[in-house]
Chains A and B, each alone.
Chain A
Amino acid sequence: QKEVEQNSGPLSVPEGAIASLNCTYSDRGSQSFFWYRQYSGKSPELIMSIYSNGDKEDGRFTAQLNKASQYVSLLIRDSQPSDSATYLCAVTPEPPNDYKLSFGAGTTVTVRA
């Protein structure tokens, strides 16, 4: 079983709609959860971090964490063409491996104008 799993997509949404991205992880003791955005040919850019169950909102982005279900999601409201990118889910395993991040393969999002 992969440590972090994401649907590869592509996920195509019309401009102004909500894009919903999902991520599951295998290590039940994982502590920290991150979403990165990566434009083609560029490096990953951190957009959200979440550490406790529930929702965390930052502008048009909302991260949702459910540790019991080992599930973390990212919602992008009012999607814009500039949101077209690959979104990477990253998870910190439980100690003693909590010094590293495990990444999913990423979900490619395309926002149609």
Chain B
Amino acid sequence: ETGVTQTPRHLVMGMTNKKSLKCEQHLGHNAMYWYKQSAKKPLELMFVYSLEERVENNSVPSRFSPECPNSSHLFLHLHTLQPEDSALYLCASSQEQGVITEAFFGQGTRLTVV
């Protein structure tokens, strides 16, 4: 398997549920990202991990909790979400070599909070 793989592709959850999104990259990259894409809005950077260390949080609400156990895997743990959190959540990876190189995206998880 190649590229960036995200699971699940679709998720419907209640506001009291806890769920996790998973991302795996097979490109040998050293940086991974979580982006949120809402309708008619630019991609919003949520979290950046470089060499497994979180570099940026971007003031994301604490109901979103990232985890990066190694350079190939990235998780986004979700709890007590709000309906406005419904969006497409995209994982991406890139190779950081002083300057960022191309970022490649997974297929995304379409999240609906009910």
Point out residues on A near B: beta carbons under 8 Å.
2, 4, 31-32, 34, 36, 42-46, 49, 51, 88, 90, 92, 98-106
Contacts and interface: CB of A to CB of B under 8 A. Distances in A.
A103 B46 CA distance: 13
Q: Which of A44, A45, A90 has most B Cβ within 10 Å?
A: A44
Contact of A44 (B41, B50, B55, B90): B90
Given A43-B106, A45-B105, A99 B42 contact: no
Contact of A106 (B31, B42, B55): B42
A106 B88 CA distance: 15
A98 B99 contact: yes
B100 A98 contact: yes
A31 to B, nearest CB: 5
> 8 closest A-B pairs (Cβ-Cβ)?
A103-B43, A43-B105, A105-B42, A92-B100, A43-B108, A103-B42, A44-B105, A43-B107
